[in-house]
């Protein structure tokens, strides 16, 4: 695992997640007011399609720049995924229990963190993008869960 990926995981581990959910402390994102709204957004087909497209576009850039490195994608996923599953489980445990959040929430967070780590792992080939932006919100205590407007225009929806 690359040092950038290790540093990303350490940075995520060092902060408390979801401590600012619902706080309207930014003008650059739409801030939702409830977990119900956040879950509705993060489990929507539109959000799932957008996050999949962001991951696919990133892999396309890798293919253009280094097919050899892209060939390592699956083995790197296999290496980092157990670490991510453990980190996410630990970080979401209390909020899932307190708010009775569905499995779709955990799936959304795992997807984000996995792809954030993949962007870090391949940053030497192509710079982090969409998932690096999503990480900002996790680090600030929010939950990124949607997009307003036509991507890449518009901006994030957070809780």
- Is the pLDDT at 93 greater than 90, yes or no? yes
Q: In what order do the strands lie in the sheet with 144-148?
A: 30-31, 155-158, 144-148
**Element of type H or E holding 157:** strand 155-158
Whole-number pLDDT of residue 152: 87
Whole-number pLDDT of residue 101: 98
Q: What are the pLDDT digits (tens) for 125-150?
A: 999 999 999 999 999 999 999 999 99
Structure tokens at 5: 């990926």
Task: Provide, rounded to the nearest whole percent, the portion of the chain with pLDDT above 70.
Answer: 100
Whole-number pLDDT of residue 47: 98
pTM here is: 0.96
**Element of type H or E holding 90:** helix 73-99
Phi and psi at residue 43, in whole multiples of 5°? -105, 5
**Boundaries of every domain in the chain:** 3-21+36-158
């Amino acid at each position: 695992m690359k040092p950038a990926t290790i540093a990303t995981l350490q940075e995520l581990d060092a902060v408390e997640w979801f401590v600012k959910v619902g706080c309207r402390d930014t003008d650059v994102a739409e801030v939702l007011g409830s977990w119900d709204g956040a879950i509705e957004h993060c489990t929507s087909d539109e959000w799932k399609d957008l996050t999949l497209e962001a991951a696919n576009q990133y892999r396309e850039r890798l293919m253009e720049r280094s097919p050899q490195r892209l060939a390592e994608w699956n083995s790197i996923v296999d290496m980092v995924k157990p670490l991510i599953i453990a980190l996410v489980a630990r970080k979401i445990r209390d909020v899932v229990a307190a708010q009775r959040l569905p499995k779709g929430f955990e799936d959304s967070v795992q997807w984000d963190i996995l792809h954030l780590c993949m962007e870090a792992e391949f940053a030497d080939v192509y710079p982090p993008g969409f998932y690096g932006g999503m990480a900002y919100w996790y680090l600030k205590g929010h939950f990124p869960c949607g997009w307003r407007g036509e991507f890449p225009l518009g901006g994030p929806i957070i809780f």
